[in-house]
Amino acid sequence: MTETAQYPGVGLVETQTVELFTDEPLQLENGETLGPITVAYEVYGALNERRDNAILLCHALSGGAHAAGYHPGDQKPGWWDIMIGPGKAFDTDRYCMICPNVLGSCYGTTGPSSINPKTGKPYALNFPVVTVPDMVNVEAKLLDHLGIETLLCVAGGSMGGMVALQWAVSYPQRVKSTLAIASTHQHSPQQIAFNEVARQSIMADPAWNKGDYYDSDGPTMGLAIGRMVGHVTYLSEEGMRRKFGRRLRDRERFGYDFSLDFEVESYLRHQGQSFVSRFDANSLLYLTKALDYFDLSIGYSSLTEAFGGARGSLFLLIAFSSDWLYPPHHLKEVARAIRRSGGDATYYEIHSDYGHDAFLLEYEKQEPLVRSFLKRAQTAWREQDAQRA
Amino acid sequence: MPEQLANRTRIYQWICEQAPQGGRVLDIGCGEGELLAQLVAKRGVKAVGIELSEECVVKAVERGLSVHHGNAEEGIDHYPDASFDLVILSLAIQEMHEPLHVIREAFRIGRQLLIVFPNFGYWRARWQLCFTGHAPKTESFPYTWHSSPNRHFFTVADWDDFCREENLRCVRRAFLDNGRHVKFCPNLRSEVALYLLEQITPRR
């Protein structure tokens, strides 16, 4: 079998790493400093001569730098492979995609499970509490390192959408367009509440040991239960009805015990268990905290004012009708604030009963929008340049 | 050429003539964005659309337009005063829940309003109601009573009354029947009416 047949799309890819903030540490929002910081990232496609085709991809809470293609031996491609590749919405023949893992995560970029150079041991809870603006500052440094001054687009869904919107607010001069999907401008009390349940579940597990568990299996039960809560919020009532109904798992009648009766229980347990082997509990604490602190209007008098600097930039905001974790009215409010500030926002609501998960499932409906939007952003940028010249 | 298509071509042509070169234009109920795309190409306007249908929004975005997917009411109330040079309501007002609110908002956020509406006083409609006893079905009203998206049925005479009540000045107007301009007795002879309007005293 040839390599292309075995690994379709962008094919075999490799996660790269770079050490940043080696001379001067990163100034964090909480007042502390952090450095050096390792950043893991993947690149698909190539920068063109005009250097106007760079797109930054931002992953969701449990995602990483591996957005597309295959690592050697893998059966499954990266998390957004369906959208990235030759001829796809993020067309690697036209654009150069860069996908970094965020600060605080556990997929190669410095986070609580990384080794603290001062102690030679994992940071654990000595890792500073980081925020979404901190993540963006790290990514900006990565772009400096890669020699990319301006992005054609910064794009992401869920947490990735928040990171993308933060980019537009923090570095409006460096971003020509922003694509945020199934996301928000500010974590609501309901979103904070679900995150708090996940955190308490981890911290109530004795094996968490105040975050100091890296020489053992760690809080596997707490992490699994935290993830189960998460998965409930990613689905919708109608979607669950369709997917599981009240079907029983491997039995004809109720067991009248607490083993396992329903399909939906089996699904959640499986999601919880499989998460344990691939994610760090402390990273979940830090990332959910960063999301709970997230509010684009911090430091501004209003959300409208926050977008004031991004007037020259284009926005595409996509929401899903049954997403109750980040309901459509959140991004609709973002669109309204952008227009109030004099900016250009397209808002689109996809009818779907997949809930929040629709962001990764309803790709056929997103594909034509993303494709047209990127083309429009590049045309607008080139027209601006032509006018200036 | 089918009658409706003939009218549509003329409507787009007339709107293109009225639109300010390079101006800011909002099309409420922009459909697939055909008109806005023409305005961008011919008049270099900065275009924004509002559209309720999911399929239409995709087509409009594919035309490179900026669109709000939603209804008119939520799509305009957040715009600051005088955000647009021209607000367009082309064959849309008769379908809206709150037409009065939308028209007043249009004058708050825009300098001029260009409105196109089907004339219920058209002689064919009168003929059908009067002599066959059936609710009219014409090119502009091709629906049965239960399938119609139209909520409001009014005539050129009704519209003129409305403009007086609302202190609206007609800058220019045109009337169409089967793609041809109608000069004489438009309330009887025109199928579609087109008005470019300004507000005489800005509403508080």
CA of A363 to nearest chain B CA: how many angstroms apart?
13
- Interface confidence (ipTM) of the complex: 0.91
Kindly determine whether residue A347 and residue B70, on different chains, have CB atoms separated by under 8 Å.
yes
- In DSSP notation, A232-273 reads HHHS-HHHHHHHTTTPBSS-SS--SSSS--BHHHHHHHHHHH
Point out the catalytic residue in the list A158, A177, A236, A352. Answer: A158
Determine contact: A326 vs chain B, CB below 8 A. no
What digits encode the pLDDT tens for the residues B35-44? 999 999 999 9
Determine contact: A367 vs chain B, CB below 8 A. no
Residue B196 has pLDDT above 80, yes or no: yes
pLDDT band (50, 70, 90) for residue B3: low
Of A56-60, A162-166, B90-94, the range with the lowest mean pLDDT is B90-94
What chain B residue is nearest to A348 in terms of C-alpha separation? B69
pTM of structure? 0.95
A chain contacts of residue B69, beta-carbon cutoff 8 Å: 347-349
Q: What is the pLDDT of residue B18?
A: 96
DSSP letter assigned to residue A151: B
Determine contact: B68 vs chain A, CB below 8 A. yes
Do you know the residue count of chain A? 389
Residue A182 has pLDDT above 50, yes or no: yes
What digits encode the pLDDT tens for the residues A349-367? 999 999 999 999 999 999 9
What digits encode the pLDDT tens for the residues B53-69? 999 999 999 999 999 99
Determine contact: B74 vs chain A, CB below 8 A. yes
Q: What is the pLDDT of residue A13?
A: 97
A356 is catalytic: yes
What digits encode the pLDDT tens for the residues B123-142? 999 999 999 999 888 777 78
Kindly determine whether residue B58 and residue A349, on different chains, have CB atoms separated by under 8 Å.
no
What digits encode the pLDDT tens for the residues A288-327? 999 999 999 999 999 999 999 999 999 999 999 999 999 9
Probe site for chain A from B28, B63, B67, B69 (most A CB atoms < 10 A): B69
Q: What is the pLDDT of residue B204?
A: 52
Three-class DSSP category at A107? coil
Alpha carbons B15 and B112: distance in angstroms, whole number: 12
Task: Write down the residue that tokens 């990332």 correspond to.
Answer: A287
| Burial of A386 (C-beta count, 10 Å sphere; 0-12/13-18/19+) | exposed
Alpha carbons A211 and A202: distance in angstroms, whole number: 9
The dihedrals phi and psi of B186, each to the nearest 5 degrees, come to -65, -30
Chain A, chain B: beta-carbon pairs less than 8 Å apart:
52
Alpha carbons A212 and A299: distance in angstroms, whole number: 35
With a pLDDT cut of 70, the percent of chain A lying above it is: 99
pLDDT band (50, 70, 90) for residue B1: very low
